[in-house]
Amino acid sequence: MGLKTKEEYIESLRRMNPTAYMFGQKLTNVVDNPRLRAGIEATAATYEVAELDDFKDLAVTQSPLINEPVNRFTLPPSSIEDLVARVKLNRKLGAYVGTCHQRCTGLDCLSTLSIVTYDIDQKYGTHYYDNFVEFLKYMQKNDLTANAGVTDVKGDRSKGPKDQEDKDMYVHVVEKRDDGIVVRGAKAHQTGSLSSHEIIVLPTRAMRKGDEDYALSFAVPADAPGLIHVVGRSSLDMRELDGCDIGNIRYSKYCPTLIFNDVFVPWERVFMCGETEFAVEMVVRFSSFHRQSHGGCKSGKIDCMIGTALTMMEYNGTSKAGHLKQKVIDMIHRAETLYGCCLASSYEGKQEPSGTYFIDTVLANASKIHEGKEMAEAIRLMVDVCGGFVADMPSDRDFENPEIGPLVKKYMKGADGVPIDNRIKLYRLAEKLALESADTISDIHGGGSPEAHRVTIFRETNTNRKKDAAKRLAGIES
């Protein structure tokens, strides 16, 4: 099979029965809920573009594992070209949906597992890599979407997993059986978990002796018994439910907390269980892959913001304003720097013992630090160019009101010849791009905190080589 259409993807979600809550209510129809459907449509775009001529060369590739064409989001990279294509595809998709398409984290998990499960097996003679390969075949043959369950809720941050007063603050094994394990805990910030077929769990931090029950990786269906999706609040999250003032009329983002309330996992779906020293490798591999993914999709989102700013200049009659052009230039160079770091991290990639290619971690983390600061600046520049109505545009319902609608709309006029409705729609899009908290917070914390990015850069940088270079020039013998 290998490739699904957008329609087949959405129908496949209809056949699932996840346990989900939002605003205190249990959901009986996830797919047709307007709030969630906008996020599902963003993931559906990854299926849609696989059939579009402008995307197909990037979105579709050949799997050496099943010897069929597959969606790139199911293929761990087996070459430098694959690493580069990940970044290019994410940028195009970021511009296409203007938000998170939610599918990169699953590929980042698959890429991580394709390296680390092999490494564990080489040391311990386990069969995690075999488990992973069979799972990967299943993902590819059915063109499935996976969600990354990485961020534990952590409880008291001053304590490690085993020292928590409540042992469930990190996902852990509560029972080992002949046929599998039972796990309990929660994962936070699970973007698109209800848009996914599978949840892949990885550890969130390095583990030590005594943390064996927490050194855990596995996969379960998104509707597994005992798995509960609780959709989090975010700014603008009632707009789709209200049916007005939406801004991005096609796509959005939502982020549940996932509760594993004694979820059973068969042994064949377990990819690590107790090998504490490999937890840190899983964390570093995943976080670096994910930070590389961010550089592609976030530069694509800035492309949307640039387009919004330039179009608003036309609508406001300020296209010739030199100071506004300078602000757009500042947005462009931020997008290209972000994109360039991630391309460089790909071109500097190396093959791992399993055969999978891994990126340059320093460059990927440099890109993420840049994103955490410069996405906010790009948003500020877009708002500066567009003007104050990004914050307080009257509602669509005011424009539709027969008593005041025509009068309110009269005062929304911009440049001569520009339809007033177009200017209103563009302001609403600018509001969505600037003020949607589910997106803007991920610019800072997606893929780990800014401090985690800095720690990784310093740990992975060959600082001795830099010191030796300085000593040589100064005439100091090493």
pLDDT in tens, 113-153: 999 999 999 999 999 999 999 999 999 999 999 999 999 99
Question: Which tens digits make up the pLDDT trace of 275-295?
Answer: 999 999 999 999 999 989 988
What pLDDT was estimated at residue 1?
64
What pLDDT was estimated at residue 450?
79
Cα angle, residue 397 at apex, residues 34 and 96 outer, rounded to 5°: 45
Q: Which residue has the tokens 């609040």?
A: 233
Helices 322-347 & 80-97 angle (0-180, nearest 10): 150
Mean pLDDT of 95-122: 96
What pLDDT was estimated at residue 286?
95
Q: For residues 77 and 101, what is the distance between their CA atoms, to the nearest angstrom?
A: 19
**For residue 106, what are its two tokens?**
């699953």
Q: For residues 413 and 315, what is the distance between their CA atoms, to the nearest angstrom?
A: 9
Cα angle, residue 64 at apex, residues 60 and 65 outer, rounded to 5°: 105
pLDDT at 37 over 70: yes
Query: Which residue has better confidence, 318 or 369?
Result: 318
Q: For residues 192 and 133, what is the distance between their CA atoms, to the nearest angstrom?
A: 24
pLDDT at 8 over 80: yes
pLDDT at 174 over 90: yes
By percentage, how much of the chain surpasses pLDDT 70? 100
- Number of other CB atoms surrounding residue 135 within 10 Å: 22
Q: Which of 18, 445, 443, 38 is nearest to 236 (CA)?
A: 38
Q: For residues 72 and 62, what is the distance between their CA atoms, to the nearest angstrom?
A: 9
Contact between residue 308 and residue 430 where contact means Cβ atoms under 8 Å apart: yes
Mean pLDDT of 183-201: 97
pLDDT at 396 over 70: yes
What pLDDT was estimated at residue 29?
97
CA atoms within 13 Å, Cβ hemisphere of 246: 15
Question: Which tens digits make up the pLDDT trace of 414-472?
Answer: 999 999 999 999 999 999 999 998 888 877 777 777 788 888 899 899 999 999 999 99
Query: For 40, phi and psi rounded to 5 degrees?
Result: -60, -40
Fill in the DSSP letter of residue 347: H
Number of helices followed by number of strands (H, E) in the chain: 17, 14
Residues near 451 by beta carbon (within 8 Å), at least 6 away in sequence: none
Indicate the average pLDDT of the chain. 95
pLDDT at 84 over 70: yes
Contact between residue 345 and residue 289 where contact means Cβ atoms under 8 Å apart: no
Mapped onto helix, strand or coil, the DSSP state of residue 442 is helix
What pLDDT was estimated at residue 64?
94
In the chain, the largest separation of any two C-alpha atoms, in whole Å, equals: 84
* Chain centroid to CA 403: 44
Q: For residues 367 and 354, what is the distance between their CA atoms, to the nearest angstrom?
A: 26
Mean pLDDT of 44-63: 96
Helices 279-316 & 361-386 angle (0-180, nearest 10): 20
Question: Which tens digits make up the pLDDT trace of 298-310?
Answer: 999 999 999 999 9
